[in-house]
A and B are shown apart, each in its own frame.
Chain A
């Protein structure tokens, strides 16, 4: 790595001004993507702004829904007892990312802003109807996470804009969920296909009140399988309906062929695994 200027402000406004002032500056959270990029010479910032001294950014709390500071670590989400009780699927998803060593440093905001199409937290939070708060020197805005990603490793963040908070609505807690990261290894891998599913179904009738399906590693960004969701929403869940939804999901993705898998294999995997996850969630609910 080449040397660079480094600062660690303890106030967000100082970070925002510095980020505005230095065009080439990059933000340092967990460093588990940034430092790798720098070691490979892919990223060559002359200025780095370490956000970890800014106290508000790393807490998460429950008011109406949930609010996660961008610097919440993956490990803190994985180990949180309150999250395990209220949204176990989130802890499960967090546990699939990297290793303990990585999860102790990697952050939610970093995973979203690095914007890999296979990003685990990006895919899970996309299924959770998330919104994100974006701040810059004179502006603050809240936008849906759906629309935040613009391409592989690209987001809509403009010059001087910093992701500070991720919010999810309270009705997400009513859902059962599952995150499936499919690949040849049980850990330390990038998924060939990532599937995040949330289901809120009536216990007696099996009527699906809310279905959310987000898919990773099968398009230039993580994506919602909205046609599949439409097939499920408002209908009584059954293996047949699920098969139709999974088929639809397979049709609304745009995977590439790379050294991990071919596009055709990814499409086939989505069809099979979306059905498998939905059927598993269906079986766990008392109606069947």
Chain B
């Protein structure tokens, strides 16, 4: 891991987001969420609470699902990030996205990118999760519109679609 040996207030970082390389000049205080939305125009990742409670800002950083609001952009230097924009298959939806649409799991849609990123991370780790495992894995993603029923349907449908 590349270190930063002296105290600095601004940093030039390299990140690979959805397979594309970017060089960005940022402040220490810039969060990864701000970098994605404000500097890279990738607004699919949402700010729901900005404090790691709602999961709307979930992205995959170096293979791990994280709340991007609690990661400093400088911490992601040299990192690989996947956002919701990285799941599309050209003009076609990713099977998880398709499952969410087909299951009626999208009401206002604000929680949806985070829910889908979490589902993707879960299925990459646990290809055939039980109901309890799904609930435990998705516990960090809140939805204020639905009762989660159709979201659970969508996740279960995603498992079948990935087979």
Mutual binders A and B: yes
Interface size on B, residues (CB 8 A): 39
Does A251 sit at the interface, judged by CB under 8 A?
no
Name the contact of A6 in the complex, choosing from B66, B74, B137 (C-beta under 8 A): B74
Chain A, interface size: which category?
35 or more
Distance A52 CA – B20 CA, assembled complex (angstroms) = 25
Q: Are B1 and A31 in contact (CB under 8 A)?
A: no
Chain A residues closer than 8 Å to B67, beta-carbon distance: 32, 101-102, 105
Does B48 sit at the interface, judged by CB under 8 A?
no
Q: A39-B50, A52-B1, A104-B66 are in contact. Are A6 and B72 (CB under 8 A)?
A: yes
Q: Determine the residue in chain A with the shortest Cβ distance to B64.
A: A104
Chain A residues closer than 8 Å to B52, beta-carbon distance: 32, 35-36, 98, 101-102
Q: Mark B3-16, 1 if CB is under 8 A from A, else 0.
A: 11111110100000
Residues B1-49 near A (CB distance < 8 A):
1-9, 11, 27-29, 31
Q: Determine the residue in chain A with the shortest Cβ distance to B140.
A: A99
Q: Determine the residue in chain A with the shortest Cβ distance to B74.
A: A6
Chain B residues closer than 8 Å to A101, beta-carbon distance: 52, 55, 58, 65-67, 118, 140
| Interface locus among A8-16, A61-69, A206-214, A256-264 | A8-16
Q: Are B140 and A39 in contact (CB under 8 A)?
A: no
Could you name 10 residue pairs across A and B whose Cβ atoms are closer than 8 Å? Answer: A4-B9, A5-B7, A9-B3, A9-B5, A47-B7, A50-B74, A98-B140, A105-B66, A186-B135, A187-B140
